[in-house]
Structure 1
Amino acid sequence: MPHDLAPISRRADAPDALPQLPAHLRWRPLRVDDATLLHGLVEAIELTDGARFRTTAAESAEKLTGEWKDLDHDTLVGVDDAGVVCAYATVELVQGAATLQKVIVHGGVHPMARDRGIGGPLVDWMTARARQVLVASGTTLPARIETHTDESGPAAERDLLERAGFRVRRYYANLRRDLADDVPDVQLPDGLRLVPWSDEIDDAMRLAHNDAFRDHWGSQPTTRENWRHGRSTFAPTWTFAVLDERDERPTVDGAQDAHASSGEGAPLVAAYLISGRYEQNWEAQGFTAGFTELLGVRRTHRGLGLSVALLEAAMRAYRADGMQFAELDVDTENPSGAHGLYASLGYEKLDGSMVHTIEV
């Protein structure tokens, strides 16, 4: 345990009992077969709030699956006397913590049920349950309770989070680039080869991701299970990697051992780009786009133009499939200088989001 940290049982300040929820609703845990019910609620919230990013039914189902999830204790749904689903909450301990233990919370109230005293108690419940989950984890690491909001979302949502002790810690910019403009043509150094995604290199891409994001705020190593989970929007034909096939390659930093290093004989992914296809957003946002979800370069391979080569390959793939824009989001304080790179390639800010946390 770090010598300057108190035990998590003291730091988390978890209550023995969870706060009371509004009695005019019937509360129960979400179940795996509640995916359609949950999606209907989330869809109503996003439609009313004018959200540009929309959740699919498959994504709602993914929120309720995963062997590590405890739906009985970490989820809620509230239903009124007429059988209308009015609110939900989820609390999830992030797996694979190495330097920081996170709990992610999400929730929402149906637009027709707002201003009925539900939102505040729901946030209080999620926060209290997250504290209990941290204590139960027994972590000796620094810990964080985290949630996200859209820049254009309701101010009342951010007010509720602030009253519960959350503070805005990070800003993300959603950027887009018109694919009608010329796409740069980048040549890779000898011994480095850009390849399309395949299942054979998928885990090597995960290892490259863990290495590339070691110096990014809040990032933790991704386990095999989490890496493969939640791929309903994954676009394999828009996803690429750069392999280092040189006889003498830079030594991968062993500090992250299995989280950073490929096994003997495995391909060394020097950089990667993962894309998503979010067709559900296109009508609401008024344009089609290929979305770059993740882009990373191993620290031993930076400065070789690999990010530009990958973005170029993705943009060409998006355009070949008829997309109007390339889109991505970026931490405005990204330490790798990614924001400046995107600007140099013609990406411009469209909107943004915020990360709210309670540091434990």
Structure 2
Amino acid sequence: MPETVLVTGGAGFIGSHTCVELLAHGYEVVVVDNHVNSSPRALDRITKTAGRPLAGAYRVDVRDRRALSEVFTAHPVDAVIHFAAHKAVGESVALPVEYYDTNVGGTCALLAVMHDHDVHRLVFSSSCSVYGEAPTVPLTERSPVAPTNPYAHTKLACERILRDVCDHLPDMKVLALRYFNPVGAHPSGLLGEDPRGVPNNLMPYVAQVAVGRRERLDVFGDDYPTPDGTGVRDYIHVMDVAEGHRVAVAHLDDQAGLRVFNLGTGTGTSVLQLVAAFGEASGRPVPYRIVERRPGDVAELVADAGAVAVAWDWRTTRDLTAMCRDAWRFQELNPDGYAGRPPRAGGPTTGGTPCG
């Protein structure tokens, strides 16, 4: 029988792409998502893209232990991929209690329900933000951790909880994936990043400027110690991230306990370099202005992804050009996001003017 993987936050940006990847490789997939920052319409897009239905999809907040337990009772869950969390650095500075409640509280609730149902295999969505203002790059898994904002603190807190749980329960097998900056979209244009309200991440904001939904991009600071003064990040295609999670599930049984891996390309790209690349991919200008730095941001985060390459013989395969091209295809075909008309085969939608 194929393994059943429960994906929390499975209607979100990374979660939806990971569901497609899992379905394409024969897994049965169950989604739980409260749709605070995602669209239920993404679930239909998952099925259409994969050509296979989900085994189940539930509107459930992972902090609701009773409702979550009912999902585990209804399905023979073999492993869990845990994405469900708030994820915006700037927002976390303004709403720290909400971030701790959802990210840390949700993880604790999930672990308790997993234990109740004798499920001890977990892939955890962590973040490169735990490294903070790194003294040197690229960053290995042994680089010191020094979070600079509440979001990053919640991810590191979850990792420490997972380590304690693994020390207490010798059957636990956990992989924490610290991925860098997921961008892009499914090459079909059916799935992509479509946040509610004003995007907190760079690529969807740039895409919305290019398509005309927003006037211009605010670049937060041009006085960082980087080649052009803007922040440098390791951008990774969301399909590579999804593939990495699917491969992680296959390697959960390699070893008990908690293991931590970076997912990244090892190549740094500045904000202005990404803006230029997106303008070239879209053929549209991306107006921008320089504004003050944003609290909690750091100058540079670039991965050393050598450990995962050695452990799993796996590497990313998609470059910045593909990231921009695929993100633009999704934005062009879905100018109003999932709330608009479904994209037509062969060309952009014509109707109207979100939620990954």
Q: Above 0.5 in TM-score?
A: no
| Pair member with larger Rg | 1
Given the two structures, how large is their TM-score scaled by the length of structure 1?
A: 0.28
Bigger strand share = 1
Bigger helix share = 2
